[in-house]
Amino acid sequence: MYERTKFFDVSLNESSETKLLILKHCRESVYKAIDLMKSAISSGGKVMFCGNGGSAADSQHLATEFIIRLNHDIKRPAMGSIALTTDSSLITAGANDIGYDNVFARQVEGLGKTGDVLVGISTSGNSGSVINAFTMAKSKGVKTIAFLGGTGGKLKGIADCEIIIPSSNTQRIQEGHITIGHIICESVEMEIYG
């Protein structure tokens, strides 16, 4: 039986425990992601984000942090970034004409260049559209970073950098993704412009 107080306490404790596991297990991969994005931005490249559902929303959120800013104490120019999840005409035409699993790959093909970074966000690691985007990125010389969860799914072992949230709960994985996304964005800002 649902009890509001118990549910509230359990959810927050589980979220906190997941964050502590991220601290213990993900530090080096987060540092590697910071270095890859910093290198791309510093050399005039961009960071592209893709994902589905809540991960699409996270893609838009993080791309916005790079373009606008996250740390309000740092005055800086926009950092090149784009969410491949936002153009409804492109996504629906692609889904209709070339299949949904190819909508991100097609954008990487048209927009990606050597020196860029693609961040694929997938709680399961099994999103066909993200897997195909990574395959295209590799062919274009674009570095890849995977935000994953649980076992890492099919994407595990494909990316240049993998950040696997140590949880099997989709909500906790998504919370971990946005937390590390904020840490990475602010670190890139501070290391380039701070």
Q: Show the tokens assigned to 180.
A: 């590390």
Q: What is the pLDDT of residues 18-70, one digit of tens each?
A: 999 999 999 999 999 999 999 999 999 999 999 999 999 999 999 999 999 99
- The pLDDT score that the predictor gives to residue 83 is 98
Q: What is the pLDDT of residues 96-132, one digit of tens each?
A: 999 999 999 999 999 999 999 999 999 999 999 999 9
The model's pTM is 0.96
On the question of pLDDT at 2 being above 90, the answer is no
* Confidence class for position 181, pLDDT limits 50, 70, 90: very high
Alpha helices in the chain (DSSP H): 4-25, 27-42, 54-67, 88-97, 103-111, 128-140, 170-193
Three-class DSSP category at 110: helix
Distance CA 31, CA 184 (A): 8
User: How many folded domains does the chain comprise?
Assistant: 1
β-bridge mates for residue 83, sequence order:
49
- Looking at residue 1, its pLDDT comes to 73
% of the chain with per-residue pLDDT over 90? 98
Q: What is the CATH number of the domain that holds 108?
A: 3.40.50.10490
Burial of 103 (0-12, 13-18, 19+ CB in 10 A): buried
For a pLDDT cut of 70, what percent of the chain falls above it? 100
The token duo for 138 is: 């590799």
Report residue 133's pLDDT band, with 50, 70 and 90 as the boundaries: very high
Domain range for 51 is 4-193
